[in-house]
Amino acid sequence: MTQQCKLLALNRSSVYCRPVDVCHEDLRLMKAIDEIHLEQSFRGSRRIRDELLDRKVVAYINRKKVQRLIPIGHKCGRWAWSRSIRKRKPACLATAIKSILIC
């Protein structure tokens, strides 16, 4: 096995590791989280957890479980999940010209 891994340029640990299937309950939660994220993409894990409880998707869910399920959906290519980055407002042309002329 070691020689085969060397020939294929693979790590031996990746050969022995078998992927774990996601259970149906987690898939159902990921679908509900996906719906919430599509409606309001600015919500974080706390607000998503509260929304899951308000919609009565589950009786109780821990915020950390929501945080664990978010990257799984991200790895599947379902979400473009990232922290919101405050973008600067694009300066209008007149403002840019004034700042250049003042210098």
pLDDT of residue 20: 77
Domain-wise residue ranges, the chain: 24-80
Q: Confidence band (pLDDT; 50, 70, 90) for 85?
A: very low
Closest Cα partner for 65 from 26, 36, 38? 26
Give per-residue pLDDT as tens, 2-32. 888 888 888 888 788 777 788 899 889 989 9
Cα–Cα distances in angstroms (integers) from residue 54 to residues 26, 37, 43, 82, in the given order: 18, 15, 14, 24
